[in-house]
Amino acid sequence: MKVIGFGDNIVDRFLDRGVMYPGGNCVNFAVLARRLGLESAYMGVFGSDPLGDFVRSAIEAEGVDASRCQTRQGANGVTEIKVMDGDRIFLGWNQGGVTISQPFLLGPEDRSYLATAALVHSSVYSASEDQLPSVRAAGPLVSFDYSWEPERRTDSYLQQTAPYVDLALLSLGDAPVETVKHELALVTGAGASLAVATRGAAGAILYDGARFLIQQAAPTDAQRFADTMGCGDAFLTGLVVSLLRSGWARDVPPTPASLSPALAFAAQMAAEQCYVEAAFGYGRPVAAATRI
């Protein structure tokens, strides 16, 4: 069973630590799925600078296939972060570098490669929206991270993306339950088969178009806590892996009996992610002079 992360990669610079780490929603998904025992690959665009080499070497060290990635002349994506009280605070970024300015355009061989996967994951930070019909047509399930930005849940954006999505992830923080349910219903109403909202310490809510399932957050050990980077990605990966292992496929919807165990596993994955520095480690010192 293989999954593919298609889209963004980035370098996360933690200014309070003076350390940079590889990351990006689609990279994190591919790495975490590999750590859970699945075959995984990443398809995306790296910058021609040392940061692009840094991310690529880290994911290849994890056993993730990056053979179909492309390198373009220019800067890799980079973001600047600090941690306060365990939560990450984003300070700025370079708009995703060449991943966004020169995005991956699928060719015939790429589409054939996507067809070998059970699921392909992408995100709002991948500039992949106009590629989603091709991803879907290749045959795999498609998951898509809408993140926390409300402008990514407008009617026009949802009409462009949701019809090609089997599992949508939203990050809604401490929004009231009724607001969360409303947002999930909007996404499924636009075409997504399943939608799940992560809510930090408040847990998560999944909607399958017929019923809402509420999942409590798994407990964490404060003494082991590193940061919350990648917790949403870990939740999504755990949910996807559990559902795939239960038999989920394009022509086989997840059974009601499989959803609750998958949510519980996802919550545990998110909790354990809190003990990991950044998304999946591989930190390197960074000089202040290299700031954006």
Q: Please report the pLDDT score of residue 152 as a whole number.
A: 77
Q: Please report the pLDDT score of residue 112 as a whole number.
A: 97
Each residue's pLDDT tens digit, 69-82:
999 999 999 999 88
The residue with greater pLDDT, 84 or 4, is 4
Each residue's pLDDT tens digit, 118-162:
999 999 999 999 999 999 999 999 999 999 887 778 999 999 999
CA distance 4 to 69: 12
Ordered domains of the chain (ranges, CATH): 2-281 (3.40.1190.20)
Q: Is the pLDDT of residue 286 over 90?
A: no
The pTM is what? 0.95
Each residue's pLDDT tens digit, 84-93:
776 778 888 9
Q: Please report the pLDDT score of residue 228 as a whole number.
A: 83
How confident is residue 217, by pLDDT bands cut at 50, 70 and 90?
A: very high
Strands 19-23 and 39-47: unpaired
- Give the mean model confidence (pLDDT) for residues 193-214: 96
